[in-house]
């Protein structure tokens, strides 16, 4: 193990940032999340994998309350998820989310996209918001695109803007739901590299992805879901070389 990952494990032991306790959720008759218990420590990078329809996106969406739950508890930094109002807006700012489909505001420039949340939610003054937006755009490698509109950028560039926009809120944790699945193959790495760097910088991350190279190199832990349950959790080396459950073995045999 390298010194960096040892240090990270020590950091990861310090506090529980995201806690899900016995979380259940239904969509009608479908029991989409079944008794989910999951604890994510500060600085930890958790990769969630599993077959399509297993509940990975729903899990992410419950963590920032885009979806409510039927029972159980979700705590962010020790506090229960607020149901609505200003508290909820603040929570959403603490929990950054990056989607498969970028979801940038089409009628706003790249710079405006990254400034907007700072102005509206964080009430940052305009000059500071712009400075920060430009610095973040530089950090994800799209600083020269600031005055363009999203449609003028490649998918990989748009996704990096979406990451900068989430980071502008100084989130405590970042959720990524298949951030590279909609990208042309040659653009996947430029997004994964930004995520790798974020992980190295100590960001707490929950990443739903089929990019097993990323899981192996960046994750502290792999969570395998099937049929709304967490079937298996392990460090990446162990999970990929020696999966315990038949479901995980079957899944890995199809994708690796």
Q: Under the rule (CB under 6 A), what is the footprint of ligand ADP?
A: 27, 30, 32, 50, 52-58
Task: Tell me the sheet residues that pair with 235.
Answer: none
Cα 21 to Cα 239: distance, rounded to the nearest angstrom: 23
Backbone angles phi, psi at 53, to 5 degrees: 85, 5
Q: Of 25, 21, 17, which is closest to residue 74 (Cα–Cα)? A: 21
Q: Closest-CB residue for Mg ion?
A: 57
Selection from Mg ion, ligand ADP, none that 8 binds (CB < 5 to 8 A by kind) is none
* Shortest distance, position 225 Cβ to ligand ADP, whole Å: 7
Cα 204 to Cα 174: distance, rounded to the nearest angstrom: 6
Q: Are 116 and 150 in contact (CB under 8 A)?
A: no
* Shortest distance, position 165 Cβ to Mg ion, whole Å: 20
Cα 169 to Cα 132: distance, rounded to the nearest angstrom: 10
* Residue among 42, 57, 159, 209 that touches Mg ion (CB under 5 A): 57
Between 59 and 93, CB nearer to ligand ADP: 59
Between 30 and 106, CB nearer to ligand ADP: 30
* Shortest distance, position 212 Cβ to ligand ADP, whole Å: 16
* Shortest distance, position 54 Cβ to Mg ion, whole Å: 8
The 10 Å Cβ neighbour count of residue 25 is: 22
Among 3-11, 28-36, 51-59, 69-77, the segment contacting Mg ion (CB under 5 A):
51-59
* Shortest distance, position 180 Cβ to Mg ion, whole Å: 13
Q: Are 135 and 71 in contact (CB under 8 A)?
A: no
* Shortest distance, position 60 Cβ to Mg ion, whole Å: 8
Selection from ligand ADP, Mg ion, none that 55 binds (CB < 5 to 8 A by kind) is ligand ADP
Selection from ligand ADP, Mg ion, none that 105 binds (CB < 5 to 8 A by kind) is none
Among 30-38, 54-62, 77-85, 161-169, the segment contacting Mg ion (CB under 5 A):
54-62
Q: Which residue is it, tokens 């038949």?
A: 246
Cα 229 to Cα 147: distance, rounded to the nearest angstrom: 44
Among 10-18, 49-57, 69-77, 103-111, the segment contacting Mg ion (CB under 5 A):
49-57
For the range 22-27, what are the long-range contacts, defined as Cβ-Cβ under 8 Å and sequence gap of 24 or more?
22/71, 22/72, 22/73, 23/62, 23/69, 23/71, 23/72, 23/73, 23/74, 24/69, 24/70, 24/71, 24/72, 25/58, 25/62, 25/67, 25/68, 25/69, 25/70, 26/70
Selection from ligand ADP, Mg ion, none that 52 binds (CB < 5 to 8 A by kind) is ligand ADP
Selection from Mg ion, ligand ADP, none that 58 binds (CB < 5 to 8 A by kind) is ligand ADP
List residues binding Mg ion (CB under 5 A): 56-57
């Amino acid at each position: 193990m390298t010194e960096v990952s040892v240090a990270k494990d020590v950091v990861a032991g310090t506090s529980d940032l995201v806690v899900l306790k016995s979380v259940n959720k239904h969509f009608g008759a479908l029991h989409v999340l079944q008794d989910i218990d999951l604890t994510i420590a500060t600085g930890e990078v958790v990769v969630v994998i599993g077959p399509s329809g297993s509940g990975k996106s729903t899990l992410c969406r419950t963590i920032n309350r885009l979806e409510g739950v039927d029972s159980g508890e979700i705590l962010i930094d020790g506090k229960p998820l607020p149901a609505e109002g200003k508290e909820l807006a603040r929570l959403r700012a603490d929990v950054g989310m990056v989607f498969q489909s970028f979801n940038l505001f089409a009628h706003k420039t790249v710079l405006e996209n990254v400034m907007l949340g700072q102005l509206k939610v964080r009430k940052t003054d305009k000059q500071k918001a712009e400075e920060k937006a430009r610095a973040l755009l530089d950090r994800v490698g799209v600083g020269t695109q600031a005055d363009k509109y999203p449609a003028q950028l490649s998918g990989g560039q748009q996704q990096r803007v979406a990451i900068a926009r989430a980071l502008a809120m100084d989130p405590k944790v970042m959720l990524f739901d298949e951030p590279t699945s909609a990208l042309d193959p040659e653009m996947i790495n430029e997004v994964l590299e930004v995520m790798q760097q974020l992980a190295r910088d100590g960001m707490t991350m929950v990443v739903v992805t089929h990019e097993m190279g990323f899981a192996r190199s960046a994750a502290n832990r792999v969570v395998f879901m099937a049929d709304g349950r967490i079937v298996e959790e392990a460090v990446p080396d162990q999970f990929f070389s020696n999966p315990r459950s038949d479901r995980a073995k079957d899944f890995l045999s199809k994708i690796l």
